[in-house]
Structure 1
């Protein structure tokens, strides 16, 4: 309780200090919403992936790929794709849910590619490529949109599991190519329904 009182006192003092300098003010409101659930789930690396060094991180090694072996988004040259398998294990409250929707937030990761907004921007010395994400149907996803990967939960008593299969592939973005490292990171959110 003392921390809250101290914080309020500091905020009040800051407000009094700024009141003398403010000439105009805008009023507004924050509208906050959310959902609380009883379900507890872990997402682990399966085939083609490995655990990262921090909780929640999953590493995918895309290997050494030649520019000659990749194409544009429209060409959908997918032979060099790296498979990614994610294993979802849910306990506590899992019986109330039937599926998990995986959605991606590229803008909060390494960003969308400047030249092809459907791709994830790469970091590193390489130029001329972005990273494409493949859904379970082996089709390139548009990372600038709201596409999700929907997977049924397999229930067994109070637990539920799911296996999410996707892939990552380098895709030419239409600019001159330059070899080097081409890395990226892509945050995701799991919604249980």
Structure 2
């Protein structure tokens, strides 16, 4: 076969559209500044803030028991959102955690955040205000209402996200050491 024939054969192949991808969404004005309440330190500017939660020193003895059970030395995570007037027309804010973008999901108990450091047998649990352990692996959200304050002429929309974080036994043998973790999150307004 000549080169010209090979080129002609290759050029005769046809392309067809196999499908369509449709993207939908909406750009909303809301972007809330976060301040930390008791037990929480917040730095940075809105849209890129860092939240530091100190879980403290916890005795391995206090973590004994059922994996994923109670809160051991839990620390409040109180986040106050100030959306100013950009929350107009919106009624709630949802927090979605991304453990894969941080230190990961615990290998023994996937409801927990995996710790980095030298400690073993523990993960970090995130609890709702009702004391329910959020399942970090299930892509659950934690929701709070946006509340209108201020005046009719100058409304201010705020929300309070009240969670708790704690070390939780994951079912493996517990060994002392540092137990840190990172957990990126996204706020969605509806």
**Structure 1 partner of 2:167:** 170
SS, match of residue 176 in structure 1: coil
What does 1:55-94 align with in structure 2 at a 5 Å threshold? 55-70=48-63, 71-74=65-68, 76-94=69-87
CA distance in 2, matches of 1:159, 1:64: 39
TM-score (structure 2 length as normaliser): 0.79
Q: CA 1:175–1:53 in structure 2 vs 1: closer, same or farther (change >3 Å)?
A: farther
CA distance in 1, matches of 2:93, 2:131: 19
Structure with higher strand content:
2
RMSD: 2.0
Asked if 1:142 corresponds to 2:142, the answer is no
CA distance in 2, matches of 1:102, 1:85: 13
SS, match of residue 88 in structure 2: helix
Q: CA 1:97–1:73 in structure 2 vs 1: closer, same or farther (change >3 Å)?
A: farther
Instruction: Tell me by how many angstroms 1:48 deviates.
Output: 0.8
1:128-171 per-position Cα deviation (integer Å, ceiling 9, x unaligned): 11100001211111110022111111102431011111011111
Q: Mean alpha-carbon deviation: is it higher for 47-56 or for 115-124? A: 47-56
Asked if 1:43 corresponds to 2:34, the answer is yes
Q: Mean alpha-carbon deviation: is it higher for 60-69 or for 50-59? A: 50-59
Asked if 1:112 corresponds to 2:109, the answer is no
CA distance in 2, matches of 1:110, 1:86: 21
Instruction: Tell me by how many angstroms 1:37 deviates.
Output: 0.6
CA distance in 1, matches of 2:53, 2:29: 30
CA distance in 1, matches of 2:93, 2:29: 14
- Give unpaired runs (5+ residues) of structure 1: 1-26
1:108-132 per-position Cα deviation (integer Å, ceiling 9, x unaligned): 1110011111110000111111100
TM-score (structure 1 length as normaliser): 0.78
Tell me the number of residue pairs that the alignment of Structure 1 and Structure 2 aligns. Answer: 166
